[in-house]
Amino acid sequence: MKLLSLLHRWTGGFVGVVLAVIGLSGTALLWEDNWILLDGANDAPASSPAELAKAIEVAIQTAPGLSRITFAGEEIGLHQAIYSDGSGAYIAQDGTVIERWSGIWERPELWLFELHHYLLLGEVGKTITGVLGLLLLAFTITGAILWWRTRKTFRFRLWPARYTASAIVRHHRDMGVVASPLLLIAAATGTMMVFPAISSELLSPIATADVTPELPTDLAPISESTDWAVVLANAQSVYPSAAARRLMMPAASGEPIAIRFRQDFEWTPNGRSYAWVAPDTGTVVAKDDPALRDTAYAIVEKFYPIHAAKVGGFLWRIAMTFAGLALVLLGLFASWSFWIGKFTSRPPNVLRPAKAAN
């Protein structure tokens, strides 16, 4: 037990602040649809191919190098266009460009996403967040084991009773055990999104052979003659009852346009139902229908919506908000008590000069 306590305390002291940053940024992102207060953000989403085609045309005219456009949905009633140089725009459903930005720092929801997922460090940061997710799993499990010895002194507080080392440790211990079920869910889903090999291994007994559609690479490029209404209408015919959520431009010459749909059974807000369309003819050249995938794929699809509280309504969002704020307090007080407490807990005579001998 002493070794377990030592590992828990020392590791938490070093990574506590970073976990707090992840918890705080994630909590803010849970509510982004409430604090994006742009004109048209609360408009009901349009879904006809003609209306969405108009949004694509406006996005193309707004700036060169359109990379993707996410269509207005239930969370925000604006289309979001992202360009290859990192710039972007919000477009109202009447075609008005509401907001433009040249980089992520001009929009809080963008840099908060980068902070939470990548720690602003790109792919290296993504790996770090995955490792931190594994550590959070370990902290939650070992913390519950260590709490069991002192369970008779349990008293839940949102804030430490006093700013003393013992009071902070008691608060950390009791807050942690209350939040532990939610922290386990957040850590597990987040980690498996970063490290899909983990979920692949865990779900391998119920997985079948993964069939990835082959995409053509010799198609005509997008041009001024590309009929976006036809492209969208033909793609929609593959999933008649689904909502078109995102259109992605070809990454290389000769590749098709990718359109992402959300079917009724999917939890992910932007769905995982794909249709690929030839830019010149509007012909559907491939599709990837989650309804035809195995159970393992269906489980993996649930990770993000559970993690980001995109399902479960208001109550689940409140629950994940509590988990995020609990992680902030647990991380900050863990680092504070480990580093600051070391210096404030020294005996007074250590810092006093020795008295001169008589």
Q: What residues contact 322, with CB distance under 8 A and at least 6 apart?
A: 179, 182
Q: For the chain, report the end-to-end CA distance as a whole number of angstroms.
A: 49
Q: What phi-psi label fits residue 95: left (phi over 0), alpha (psi between -120 and 50 degrees) or beta?
A: left
Structure token pair of residue 299:
């489980």
The residue count of the chain comes to 358
Mean pLDDT by runs of 10 across the 358 residues of the chain is: 84 92 98 94 90 96 96 95 97 95 96 97 97 96 90 88 84 93 98 96 89 90 94 97 97 95 96 96 96 94 97 97 97 86 50 47
Say whether pTM exceeds 0.85: yes
Give 238's contacts (C-beta < 8 A, 6+ positions apart).
Answer: 261, 275, 284, 287, 289
Q: Tokens in use for 214?
A: 């082959």
With tokens 């909502």, the residue in question is 243
Q: If we measure between CA atoms, which residue out of 112, 131, 150 comes closest to residue 25?
A: 112
pLDDT of residue 292: 92
Domain boundaries defined on the chain: 2-33+116-206+310-344, 44-111, 228-307
pLDDT of 344 reads 52
> Alpha helices of the chain — where are they, by DSSP H?
2-30, 32-35, 49-62, 108-118, 122-148, 165-194, 196-202, 228-236, 295-301, 303-307, 313-344, 348-351
What token pair was written down for 21? Answer: 């940053």
Which residue do the tokens 């010149």 mark? 280
Query: Which position has the token pair 């430490």?
Result: 160
The pLDDT value recorded for residue 8 is 86
Cα–Cα dist 99/221, whole Å: 29
- How many CB atoms sit inside 10 A of residue 116's CB? 23
For the sheet with 66-70, list strands across it: 97-101, 88-91, 79-83, 66-70, 243-248, 257-262, 273-277, 284-288
Residues 6+ apart with CB under 8 A from 352: none
Classify residue 134 by its DSSP letter.
H
CB-based contacts of 82, cutoff 8 Å, min separation 6: 66, 67, 68, 69, 70, 88
Alpha-carbon span 349 to 43, nearest angstrom: 67
- C-alpha distances (whole Å) from 102 to each of 65, 81, 89, 138 are 13, 12, 9, 40
Q: Report yes or no: 28 and 112 within 8 Å, Cβ to Cβ.
A: yes
pLDDT at 13: 86
Answer whether 321's CB lies under 8 Å from 30's CB: yes
> 116: which residues sit within 8 A by CB, 6+ positions away?
22, 25, 26, 29, 129
pLDDT of residue 6: 84
Q: Are strands 66-70 and 243-248 parallel, antiparallel or unpaired?
A: antiparallel
